[in-house]
Structure 1
Amino acid sequence: MKRLIILTTALCGLGFAAHAQDKEVNVVSWGGAYEKSQVEAYNTPFTKEKGIKVNMVAADDPATPLKAQVEAGNVTGDVFDVAMADAIRMCDEGALVEFDPATLPPGADGTPAVDDFVAGSLTDCAVGNIVWGTVIGFDTTKFADGAPATVADFFDTAKFPGKRGLPKSPKRTLYLALIADGVPAAEVYDTLGTPEGVDRAFQKLDTIKKDVVWWEAGAQPMQLLADGEVSMTTVYNGRLFDAIVGEGKPFDTIWDGQYLEINAFVVPKQAPHPEAALEYVNFATGTQPLADQAKWISYGPARKSSAPLVGLYNDGKTEMAPFMPTSDEHMKTAVVDDPEFWADHSAELAERFNNWLAAN
Structure 2
Amino acid sequence: MKRKILLATAAATAIGGAAFAASHGMMSNKLVLVSWGGAYQNSQVKAYAEPYKAMHPKVEIIWDESSAEAVAKLRAMNEAGNITWDVVDVVASDAIRLCDEGLAMEIDHDKMLAPAPDGTPASEDFGELIVSECFIPQIVYSTTFGYRTDVAEWGGKEPDDVCDVFDLETFPGKRSLEKRPINNLEWALYCDGVAKEDIYDVLETEEGQARAFAKLDTIKDQVIWWSAGADTPQLLADGEVVIGSTYNGRLFDLIVNQKQPVKMLWDMQVFDLDGWIIPNGLPEDRLARALDFVYFATDTQRLADQAKYISYGPARKSSAPLVPDHMKPHMPTDPENAKNTLLYNYEWWADYRDDLDAKFQAWLAK
Calculate the TM-score normalised by the size of structure 2: 0.76
Q: Is the 8 A contact 2:300 2:316 kept in 1?
A: yes
Q: Is the 8 A contact 2:135 2:275 kept in 1?
A: yes
Which amino acid is the alignment partner of residue 122 of structure 2? A
Mapping for residues 105-124 of structure 1, pairs under 5 Å: 105-107=114-116, 112-117=121-126, 119-124=128-133
3-state DSSP of counterpart to 2:284: coil
3-state DSSP of counterpart to 1:117: helix
Distance, in Å, in 1 between the alignment partners of 2:323 and 2:212 is: 37
Mapping for residues 9-48 of structure 1, pairs under 5 Å: 21-24=25-28, 26-30=31-35, 33-46=39-52
3-state DSSP of counterpart to 2:270: strand
Q: Shift in Å at residue 118 of structure 1? A: 7.0
The aligned residue for residue 269 of structure 1 is 281
1:288 aligns with 2:293: no
Query: Cα RMSD (Å) of the superposition?
Result: 3.8
The aligned residue for residue 316 of structure 1 is none
Q: Is the 8 A contact 2:328 2:334 kept in 1?
A: yes
Q: Is the 8 A contact 1:300 1:324 kept in 2?
A: yes
The aligned residue for residue 62 of structure 2 is 57
1:325 aligns with 2:332: yes
Change (3 A) 1:109 1:254: farther
Which amino acid is the alignment partner of residue 242 of structure 2? S
The aligned residue for residue 98 of structure 1 is 106
More helix by share: 2
Which of 314, 319, 323 is the aligned partner of 1:310? 323
Change (3 A) 1:77 1:190: same
Distance, in Å, in 1 between the alignment partners of 2:102 and 2:360 is: 33
Change (3 A) 1:9 1:232: same
The aligned residue for residue 80 of structure 1 is 88
Q: Is the 8 A contact 1:151 1:256 kept in 2?
A: yes
Which amino acid is the alignment partner of residue 43 of structure 2? S
Which of 15, 21, 28 is the aligned partner of 1:8? 15
Q: Shift in Å at residue 241 of structure 1? A: 2.3
The aligned residue for residue 194 of structure 1 is 205
Change (3 A) 1:112 1:176: farther
The aligned residue for residue 139 of structure 2 is 130
Q: Is the 8 A contact 2:149 2:158 kept in 1?
A: yes
Q: Shift in Å at residue 253 of structure 1? A: 0.6
Stretch deviating more after TM superposition (245-254 or 297-306): 297-306
Calculate the TM-score normalised by the size of structure 1: 0.77
Q: Shift in Å at residue 182 of structure 1? A: 4.7
The aligned residue for residue 315 of structure 1 is none
The aligned residue for residue 162 of structure 2 is 151
Q: Shift in Å at residue 68 of structure 1? A: 5.3
3-state DSSP of counterpart to 1:56: strand
User: For residues 1-50 of structure 1, what are the alpha-carbon distances to aligned partners after superposition, in whole Å with 9 as ceiling and x for unaligned?
Assistant: 86752453799xx9xxx96744556242236654443343224444667x
Distance, in Å, in 2 between the alignment partners of 1:354 and 1:169 is: 8
User: For residues 47-87 of structure 1, what are the alpha-carbon distances to aligned partners after superposition, in whole Å with 9 as ceiling and x for unaligned?
Assistant: 667x6854312223153665555444454554333344443
1:342 aligns with 2:349: yes
Distance, in Å, in 2 between the alignment partners of 1:334 and 1:36 is: 27
The aligned residue for residue 3 of structure 2 is none
Q: Is the 8 A contact 1:291 1:309 kept in 2?
A: yes
1:238 aligns with 2:238: no
Q: Is the 8 A contact 2:48 2:302 kept in 1?
A: yes
Distance, in Å, in 2 between the alignment partners of 1:117 and 1:263 is: 13
Which amino acid is the alignment partner of residue 81 of structure 1? D
Q: Shift in Å at residue 229 of structure 1? A: 4.4
Aligned length: 347
Identity in percent: 44
Q: Is the 8 A contact 1:27 1:54 kept in 2?
A: no
Change (3 A) 1:24 1:231: same
3-state DSSP of counterpart to 2:150: helix
Change (3 A) 1:85 1:53: farther
Distance, in Å, in 2 between the alignment partners of 1:220 and 1:93 is: 30
Distance, in Å, in 1 between the alignment partners of 2:328 and 2:260 is: 19
Distance, in Å, in 2 between the alignment partners of 1:291 and 1:177 is: 35
3-state DSSP of counterpart to 1:279: helix
Q: Is the 8 A contact 1:179 1:257 kept in 2?
A: no
Distance, in Å, in 1 between the alignment partners of 2:130 and 2:120 is: 16
Stretch deviating more after TM superposition (103-112 or 239-248): 103-112
Distance, in Å, in 2 between the alignment partners of 1:271 and 1:186 is: 45
Which amino acid is the alignment partner of residue 37 of structure 1? S
Change (3 A) 1:245 1:144: farther
In structure 1, runs of 5+ residues without a counterpart are 313-318
Distance, in Å, in 2 between the alignment partners of 1:215 and 1:247 is: 23
